[in-house]
Amino acid sequence: MSGLKLTRGQRLVGQVAKAAAISILGSSAVAFAGGPLPEPLNIAPNVHWFSDWEVDTNVPPPDFYATPKATNGNVAAVQGTLNGSAALGRPLGIKIETPGLSNATGHALYDTKYQPGNKAISYVFGDLEGSPTAPPGAAGIAAIKTMVNQVRSGTWSNNAYVGEFDLTPLKGVGNNIKDGFDPFRRGPLAYTEKDYKDTKVNMANTELYPGAPTFRNRSTFDWANPWIRTGLFIAPIGRMTAVQNKLNKDYHAMDDSKVGEGSFLKFGKSKDKHIPWVARFNDWGNNSLDSANNGAVGGYRFVPNTPLPQAGLSASQTKDQMMGRGDFSAQIFHYRARGAYSVALFEPGVVGYTKAEEQDDVRRGWYGGALAAGYAEPAIQHANNIFAQKDAKLATFTLNPIVDGTTLPEDGKHGFRSEQTGTIWSGVYSKNLKQLDVLASNLDKVNHMIKFGKSKDGKIDGYDVFTMRGTGAHANDTYDDKSLLAPTRNKLIEAGMHRLLEFDLVTTRVYNNSHFTGSGHTKTIWLLNQNYLVFTNNNRNDVGIPEPTTFGMLAAAGSMAMVCRRQRRRDA
């Protein structure tokens, strides 16, 4: 598998969160076709569950649920872990890494009512070996079908969400993100939409590893920005957006009556979910980001502030080009604000960066919390409350924001403004609450101005977005001089920064000039109230690696057979 290992929040969600889940699902979560519906992973503001490749035990860290690896020889151990998770009130999930799970094993796993509570397995994450090279051949597709069929033929966990690593409904590589094309991919898709349909999975587990060889970047001479870090940041958000657009359009990923998180509360085999695999960095197999240019021996090590000759980059050009911890948290927020249901976490991929820190960075990005003192983000907690509203809606899916007065057509034929500028925004709003929160990120090395809205007119849900108000007698008023870069309609996002902007829906006077004189009219608008720097913990000179285990094994010159097998698993 492309990047997963060979051997592979706050405290426990309290009674309020548990009560919320019970009220939605009911005590027995009655489903169609036998067993209960999957347990929710995402009910803002208090329910937020994530999986992690390393979390196999029945005592996971806060906000995470165990996904033990199931094999034909460890059924009793897996069942013990799942019963332990049930006792903790957590969702149940498993990983299946090797094809050939017997039907007897499948029935033992999927017919069992896990105690206490008669709980069922809700999420099945596949990481199956296909053919020796990517994309998987007929044998690999057959193995995925078998995995899905075993779940569906069970009598209790038959409604689980089932997915396979990087199996999505994308059609191919191209610019039309609204119709299922990945705009930032290098090389062919590992799987096609036909594979997604034929295997009958209902969960897209998109690979979103910054540094992966499947992404375009400055280091591969096909990225429209001079800096590596903009590709590490923007390209995964772009792929995630393309997959989510396709899921929303053709796979009932969201309730048609809503586009916010409330739409996720409908479950069923025909209502697909998006739970991507994420990491701060993982450059397995990507020679373009290997500072030694000899990854097969040295282990694909990206060392900022050193030359990258194969990419034509000097030491000064690679300085500050790693994804920082804050950048990773910002990506997590962008994923959530563009429709991801949860995330599956892989290894940290950065020297000295721990698993606990990586898990905290997911918490910070998703809902603003953290276990480590001083790492919470109150501004993101404010956004989390908007996600909780019944009428919450996502503000944009664009990869062509209005930056420095310029945007591009959404067909992508002229490129992508986010790629050119390393700048993107995502948000969530509630008209009932009269609040809009926007995360604006600029991973470029120059400042940029952003105008918020779904088109050049700068509107969100029909209301103009204003970023400045007057002073004194006009403290609640604003103006619009109609220029492309009007200071009241654009906001500066400094180079390398992330800003959380809080807007209120207000009815106020909008004048035609900055003197607040002459004609004007009363309008209902989104008006900026607060502006916060967020996710500022960004050392962008950390050393990136595929994963600690792999790097240590390769550096120690382990057996060549092991190296070859691991590489085969990552070529997909």
Can you give 177-199 as a three-state secondary structure string? HHHCEECCECCCCCCCHHHHHHH
**Residue 502 is inside which H or E element, if any?**
strand 497-511
Residue 253: per-residue pLDDT: 78
Reported residue count of the chain is: 572
Structure tokens at 545: 């690696």
- CA 532 to centroid of chain Cα atoms: 22
**Residue 94 is inside which H or E element, if any?**
strand 93-96
Q: Alpha-carbon distance 563 to 378, whole Å? A: 44
Strand, helix or coil for residue 468: coil
Residue 21: per-residue pLDDT: 34
Neighbours of 117 (CB within 10 A): 15
Strand stretches in 224-373, DSSP E: 273-274, 277-278, 344-345
Structure tokens at 507: 């009815």
Residue 179: per-residue pLDDT: 87
**End-to-end CA separation in angstroms for the chain:** 6
Residue entry with tokens 């908007």: 386
Asked if 97 contacts 124 with a C-beta cutoff of 8 angstroms, the reply is: no
Residue 40: per-residue pLDDT: 95
DSSP 361-399: HHHHHHHS--SSTT---HHHHHHHHHHTSTT-EE----S
Asked if 451 contacts 490 with a C-beta cutoff of 8 angstroms, the reply is: yes
CA-atom Rg of the chain in angstroms: 23
Q: How far is CA 346 from CA 8, 156, 306, 329, in A?
A: 10, 29, 26, 14
Residue 30: CA count within 13 A, CB half-sphere: 0
| φ, ψ (nearest 5 deg) of residue 22 | -65, -40
Mind listing the pLDDT tens digit of every residue in the chain (572 residues)? Answer: 444 443 332 222 232 233 333 233 332 333 345 799 999 999 999 999 999 999 998 789 999 999 999 999 999 999 999 999 999 999 999 999 988 899 999 999 999 999 999 999 999 999 986 534 444 678 889 999 999 999 999 999 999 999 999 999 999 998 888 889 999 999 999 899 999 999 999 999 999 999 999 999 999 999 999 999 999 999 999 999 999 999 999 998 777 666 666 676 677 777 999 999 999 999 999 999 999 988 767 789 999 999 999 999 999 999 999 999 999 999 999 999 999 999 999 999 999 999 999 999 999 999 999 999 999 999 999 999 999 998 999 999 999 999 999 988 877 788 999 999 999 999 999 999 999 999 999 999 999 999 998 766 789 999 999 999 999 989 989 999 888 899 999 999 999 999 999 999 999 999 999 989 887 899 999 999 999 999 999 999 999 999 765 444 444 333 322 232 233 233 33
Q: b/e map of 411-422 (b: 16 or more CB within 10 Å)? A: ebeeebbbbbbb
> Structural domain boundaries of the chain?
15-377+541-570, 394-534
Q: How far is CA 520 from CA 348, 489, 523, in A?
A: 53, 16, 9
